[in-house]
Structure 1
Amino acid sequence: MTIARFEVFTKIVELGNFTKASENLNMTQSAVSHAISSLESEWGTTLFIRDRKKGILLTEVGQKILIHIREILNRTEKINQELALASKLEVGTIRIGTFASASACLLPKILSKFQKKYPKIEFRFYEGTYEEIMEWLDTGAIEIGFVVQQDAHTKFSTIPLIKDKMVIAFPVQHKFHKEKIISIQDVKDEPFIMPKGMYQSHVEEIFQQAQIKPTIRFEVHDCNTIANMVQEGLGVTIGPKLFLKTQQNIQIANLNLSNWRTVALACPSISDASPAVKAFLTEAKSVFATDR
């Protein structure tokens, strides 16, 4: 049982393939297979199931062990960073979970400032849905995640970054296109594309505040699909400005009812975080100090 074998184990889980894991780790495939066989032999259990249709799957015990192995690797990384910092050689790797609009609008600003101070710190990025980021934080797959603050509850430590306004989006040359502020009452009879999950609660809150019900034509989970449907003239939608302002061939405007969401960075525990993670959170807080 060695750290190297643990790294092989988590890399196979991450990539879902022995061959891809061996290439990523610069190891032969037989060496990767041997590492897993050694763990399975030592522990007397099977860690992976090889399914022809679904590929490589974790067994039930493998899923439970994964959480503990990730914690061991995280602790090992923290030890290495503490030793490096003591030698004034800041090194390490930070794993960050992010959603599309945060990747495009927030992350680059933080990285630009951070890497000027800590050029030896490396990053791994995992892009997913809000729900996936919360799960990754919970299981230790990532150390930091971009979240909507109200979704993180009190389970994680959070640092608020920006207040993201909810706006209305509509096709180019829609009848709203000359209006700077759209009344929510005027949205009532428009074919409406309702987001499922994601920021749905914010949208519903706006309609509840106005005491009206939208004419829902579609209910869609994926943000990019919603934007594409608006582009094609299939309806209007309400969503976060951070995302909608980056979309082509649609227009956005403010509503007469204000609603905001707070985008934050979350980690399991700031006090227990590695030196690199603490430094990243500090820089992120300073970058967006005027936006909160």
Structure 2
Amino acid sequence: MTIARFEAFATVVELGSFTKAAEHLNMTQSAVSHAIASLESEWGTTLFIRDRKKGIFLTEVGQKTIVHMREILNRMETIRQEVTLASKLEVGTIHIGTFASASACLLPKILSKFQRKHPNIEFRFYEGTYEEIAEWLHTGVVDIGFVVQQDSPAPFDMIPLAKDEMVVAFSAHHKLAAEVTVPIRALKDEPFIMPTGMYRAHVQALFRQEKIAPNIRFEVHDCNTIANMVQEGLGVTIGPALFLKTQPNIQVRHLDVKHWRTVSLACLSIPESSPAVKAFLSVAENV
């Protein structure tokens, strides 16, 4: 049982492939397979189910152990960073979970400022839903995650970054284009494109607040698809200004009913984070 075997196992899980893991670790595929086989032999259990058609899957034991292995690997990364920091040499990798609008509007500014100060730190990005990012934080897949703060107490340490207003969007020649502020009741009979994930709860809260039901024509998951459908005049939508204002060829207006979401950076524990993560959070807080 060695750190190298843990790293091989965790990389196979992350990339879903022995071949990709070998390339990433600069090892031969047989060496990666041997590392996994050695763990399975030492523990007397099977960690992966291998299926030629469907790929590889974790067994129940594999699912339980990967969480602890990631914790050990994260601790080793922290130790490495602490040692190199003492030698005035900055190294390390930060794993960041993010969603579409954060990737487009918040992350680039933070990265630009951070890399000017810490050019030797590397990054790996994982884009997903709010729920996926929270799960990645809990299981150690990512060190930091962009999240939307909820009203209930969060299980993470948070650094608020931006207040993001929910706005209405429609095509360039829509009749509402003459309005500076759109009454939400004016949307009642408009064909509405409802998001199925990410910020659906925020949209529903707005309609519930006014006790009206939208005329849902389409339900769509992908943010970019929603923006393209709006552009083509297939309906109107409500979504975060952070994302919608960056989309070309659509009109965005304030609503007469205000609803905001707070986008934050989260990690399990700032005091227990690695030096690189702490430095990134410090830069993000002051962008």
How far 1:178 sits from its partner (Å)? Answer: 2.2
Closer, same or farther: CA 122–151 of 1 in aligned 2, 3 Å:
farther
Aligned to 1:257: 257
Quote the residue 1:97 is aligned against.
97
What is the CA-CA distance between 1:151 and the residue it aligns to?
A: 7.6
Equivalence for 1:229: 229
Gaps of 5+ in 2: none
Give the aligned residue type for 1:137.
Answer: L
Q: CA deviation at 1:122?
A: 0.9
Preserved contact between residue 172 and residue 251 of structure 1 (Cα < 8 Å): yes
1:152 to 1:283, Cα distance in 2 relative to 1, 3 A: farther
Q: SS state of the match for residue 234, structure 2?
A: coil
Map residues 238-257 of structure 1 onto 2, 5 A cutoff. Answer: 238-257=238-257
Structure 1 portions without partners, runs of 5+: 288-292
Residues 129, 197 of structure 2: 8 Å contact kept: no
Residue 233 of structure 1: CA displacement? 1.6
SS of 2:178's equivalent in the other structure is coil
Partner of 2:213: 213
1:250-287 deviation digits (Å, cap 9, x = unpaired)? 21111111111000000011111111111110110000
Give the TM-score normalised by structure 2.
Answer: 0.97
Q: Note closer, same or farther for the CA distance 1:151–1:136 as it changes in structure 2 (3 Å cut).
A: farther
> How far apart in 1 are the matches of 2:108 and 2:221?
26
**Aligned counterparts of 1:248 and 1:6: Cα–Cα separation in 2:** 46
Identity fraction in percent = 73
1:1-292 counterparts in 2 under 5 A?
1-150=1-150, 153-287=153-287
- Length, aligned pairs only: 287
Question: Under a length normalisation based on structure 1, what TM-score does the superposition of the two structures give?
Answer: 0.95
Which contiguous aligned blocks of 4+ residues in structure 1 show a shift greater than 4 angstroms? none
Deviation at 1:152, TM superposition (A): 8.1
Alpha-carbon distance in structure 1 between the residues aligned to 2:226 and 2:51: 34
Q: 1:153 to 1:228 in 2, by over 3 A?
A: farther
**8 Å contact kept, 1:81–1:91:** yes
| Native 8 Å contact 2:169 2:252 kept in 1 | yes
Out of 187-196 and 159-168, give the one that drifted further: 187-196
